[in-house]
Structure 1
Amino acid sequence: MNKIIKQARPVFPFTAIIGQEEMKLALILNVIDPQIGGVMIMGDRGTGKSTTIRAIADLLPEIEVIADDIFNSHPSDYDLMSDLVKEKVENQNDLDTEFIKVPMVDLPLGATEDRLCGTIDIEKALNEGVKNFEPGLLAKANRGILYVDEVNLLDDHLVDILLDSAASGWNTVEREGISIRHPARFVLVGSGNPEEGELRPQLLDRFGMHAEIRTVKDPSLRVQIVEQRTNFDYDPYSCIKQFQDKQNALKESIVAAQKILSNVVIDYDLKVKISKICGILNVDGLRGDIVTNRAAKAYAAYQNRDEVLVEDIKKVITLCLRHRLRKDPLELVDSGMKVEKIVGEILN
């Protein structure tokens, strides 16, 4: 019997979301392998971006953390522990653990650097010799999802900090010679509307994947989406119960994929073809090659396979490369179509 947990704020089920397959796949793959590097979701307003991101966080199984630790430290993975927890482990202290939902943190547009990174109480440190750290959003998002709506309107300096932390998995705060470092492993998800401005190419390139979403045009599908949302708003727990089996099945698929991911292999010839496609498309640097290899492995694991097939690469490569192409204002061909054309020629 499926148990429906009553929440203060019920979350729309991920498996109930109609359409927007690109966005859903990109989120699933990043959850399977956070090292893909996050997702940039660009598209029209009112297309369910925020709803989908909250839904994937709610879908995931609970994680085990050290009780009362502000960084959601892992009880056994050394790389996911705060320095304080490491000290306790080294001193063989017994640590209590608890299970919590995967953290889902929103970064507001008006956030300051202190709000994002956290602050050190200098006065207390100088007077009492105690490192008193007020955690920021990066600490709260550790081992979870950090979501930035309208990321193209966020201050470039904060975007740089976000991307550096997402890439390194660590956040370091330094004030007056006092330094605190803590793990900051999270899936970075940004969303925005291209009409309100694009991200700088060098920042856009740092996102692992780029999903484009459009407003559904089909009238019958629009009616279906409206009815489903109306039913959820009227009686959320009935809707959650209706999709519970699908939710559980997807959760099991994600957990199974995470377990076999490290065993997935990709043939050398396929790696060469991925790099050939990146070369023909004039993709700067090697990030495109690396992300495509990672995403293809994650997709193969998601399909419960331990070897990458050509079909896996075709499924993910546009998501990994479309935002890395050099923009030509006179070019009439969409960047995604350009990738698909070259992929069709090389991976035939």
Structure 2
Amino acid sequence: MSITAPDETLTTAWDIAVDDAPVALSARGDLVAVAGAEGAVTVLDATGGGRVGAFELAGGALSVALAPDARHLVATGPTGYALWRREGGAATVCETGAWSSAAAWADPDRVAVASGRRALVLGPDGDELWATEPAASTVTDLAWLRQGRRLAVAAYGAVRCHERHTDKPVVTYPYIGSHLALAVAPTGRWICSGNQDASIHIWRTRDGGELTMSGYPEKVSRLAFDDSGFWLAADGAPDVTVWDFSGKGPAGTAPRSLRCHETVTALAWRPGAGGHLATGGHDGTIALWRATAGRPEVRLRPERTLDGDAAVAALAWAGPHLLVAAYRDGRVRAHQLPSRTTL
């Protein structure tokens, strides 16, 4: 790997290979989890890249999510899901036959798993605590609001919110279309969906007010809020767009544009509120940005770029100083950034 914008402060902390083509990453505490297309899930030590555990999810993997305390993990795939316990390293594979695209932890003791047309809320060992009633179609993504007290579930036609142990939704946010990704502001003020029809749809949770940002050249399948909840990054074009959600929100405003990749394959905000964003591309490039700099409608330049040998499959921050990148050829690298102000 070559660093195209040299800086002594960035080093490669570790570099390993996994025996599968990575599709997803998760980093929590001192662990990093890598999920592969053929179902191999590898758990690594974030400090040195050593293997902590591994298991197989039959039928392939789509996502992986470590618990906030890094004691448990959930991986999902086309034929079901699996739970892994750090203590003892045991994995429980649940081959439900239902398409399971996503998982999200509310806290160390509860995780929501998309399972066909329902969302299941499980304990860390896989015991079912409650489940939503079936949606009109397959659940594509889910996220927690209100510090884990409310669950947002996306499926064709609507995002539905459930309170704890309520199978029927308490709030429904309709939108005729296919939701591909869901992002909830840490403040709880906004729910956003990236959609098959090349748009982002936004709901204000306080009163249900809504807004659509359309005109993207491609479907929007990746979007994420930073830790402040004021900035939303999204794909859907060669440019990554960054929308300002401070104040009254993005209505009537233009986004900042980040152009580095012909095809965006990953994006991840650095922990904290510094406006630092990492993006990855199909060409193997990783770009590091001060994504909230400048003015709306300005096209920003990356602070630095890193060149790889294969397409970037996923990015995750293991704390504010370690950026982990997974490449389609099976390489997983961790880049050390010693200062919060340095990119």
TM over 0.5: no
Instruction: Judging by fraction of residues, say which structure has more strand.
Output: 2
TM-score, normalised with respect to structure 1: 0.25
Instruction: Judging by fraction of residues, say which structure has more helix.
Output: 1
Higher relative contact order (CA 8 A, sep 6+): 1
Higher radius of gyration, 1 or 2: 1
